[in-house]
Structure 1
């Protein structure tokens, strides 16, 4: 019995599990431009670039800003992202909020359970990891 438990534990460590939680925006919102609030606490330097690439794939232009919110920003996005390290840095957790003015209209979370274990896909790009998350957030299956 201990061997079986050890084997199961080892197999679980080999596989990474990703959880995604999304509260998609309502279809009534047609976002063509949005402002992304810079989060200086996020050290994953490619995170915003990855978000902007994904937004462009949905025909959404974006600009980065530092508080206060520019007056021309009808829609805005804020985020947190955490990177972990295992031979190289990788995105292990991210949250994205979408707002129209001060009203939150969407939320999405990506979380790599157990920091991915030995799963080699854990070191994928921000775009690879966040594409399904952003697609769901925007109510699209693109």
Structure 2
């Protein structure tokens, strides 16, 4: 594994900026549409946060699972659902026109096997990826915690 997973507490007031920012933004986005929320994003949409440097400023993106992303295969454009971590990374690539050096990456749940393979191809050795719940064994715990945000 090129990147390194580190578990952190699931806490909207976390001292870890990536965790705190991700969960605060998720709470805002998953609110009712009339209260500033977004259609299609709920408490059980898995979110991710990435931050990177760009021209002496810190940039960041929030990714949401089940977002559609445009891709081209054999000259044909289409869309596909992607998980939050890849959604956030795609946003960073689009803003930079290249893969940036990430300062922090946080995912609510550890990456699924397909996202793990993608992250291994995208991230440098020892890039820390913070997570709070294990994708394989703790989805119900995550869902319960996410509903309490």
Shorter-chain TM-score above 0.5: no
Alignment TM-score, normalising by the size of structure 2? 0.25
Instruction: Tell me which of the two structures has the higher relative contact order, counting C-alpha pairs closer than 8 angstroms and 6 or more residues apart.
Output: 1
Alignment TM-score, normalising by the size of structure 1? 0.26
